[in-house]
Chain A
Amino acid sequence: AQSVTQLGSHVSVSEGALVLLRCNYSSSVPPYLFWYVQYPNQGLQLLLKYTSAATLVKGINGFEAEFKKSETSFHLTKPSAHMSDAAEYFCAVSAKGTSGTYKYIFGTGTRLKVLA
């Protein structure tokens, strides 16, 4: 069975500081991994995805994530936080189940606050 753990339900950083949002996954098969961002009263926007190609994945808005199989981690980083990065971030894992269908398992989310 697949699962995702996001450490820290709330993270605060100063504008211009490094953003680090943590995600650990559990999967018995090679996973697909995703980071999504959600702004208030909006849907989810895909930031980046890992699909077993390069382990360092670059996404939109300057975000990137590194897949580390040995640590079962897929942490999201951005070198310099901007006020517009304040949002809810969800990590998700997806793998093929016994029925042949892929299903997302979302983490509980991390709310990022950017301080001026």
Chain B
Amino acid sequence: DTEVTQTPKHLVMGMTNKKSLKCEQHMGHRAMYWYKQKAKKPPELMFVYSYEKLSINESVPSRFSPECPNSSLLNLHLHALQPEDSALYLCASSQDLRPGYTFGSGTRLTVV
């Protein structure tokens, strides 16, 4: 299995909702990442987990809450989002913290 699987592929949520994005990989990678990508822009790093511990938080608002329950799974919990948070959210993984990521196909999030 050489894939990073993200679910759901599309999500529409209201500003008062709570939802979660899920990312899973079975390549034995020990580093996992969340990126946010706005239309026609490059991906922007949000969080990095290394060996299930949060390694980097790029000053992301607290309405985004990451969680890494085990080495194969990464969640992003969403609460009280704003319309400007609408974007493609990409998960990635790598063998360790050295570069060379495998990206998932993303979750297209729309906040209404």
CB proximity of B51 to chain A, nearest CB, Å: 12
Check if A115 is an interface residue, CB within 8 A of chain B. no
Check if A70 is an interface residue, CB within 8 A of chain B. no
A95-111 CB contact bits vs B (8 Å, 1 = yes)? 00000111110111100
Residue of A nearest to B55 (CB): A101
Contact between B97 and A104 (Cβ–Cβ < 8 Å)? no
Contact between A49 and B100 (Cβ–Cβ < 8 Å)? yes
Residue of B nearest to A95 (CB): B99
Contact between A90 and B55 (Cβ–Cβ < 8 Å)? no
Contact between A106 and B42 (Cβ–Cβ < 8 Å)? yes
Contact between B56 and A44 (Cβ–Cβ < 8 Å)? no
> Which residues on the B side are within 8 Å of A34 (C-beta)?
99-100
Given contacts A43-B90, A43-B106, contact A103 B100 (CB under 8 A): no
Q: Which residues of B contact A (CB under 8 A)?
A: 4, 6, 40-43, 45, 48, 50, 55-56, 88, 90, 92, 97-106, 108
Q: Which residues of A contact B (CB under 8 A)?
A: 32, 34, 36, 41-46, 49, 51, 90, 94, 100-104, 106-109
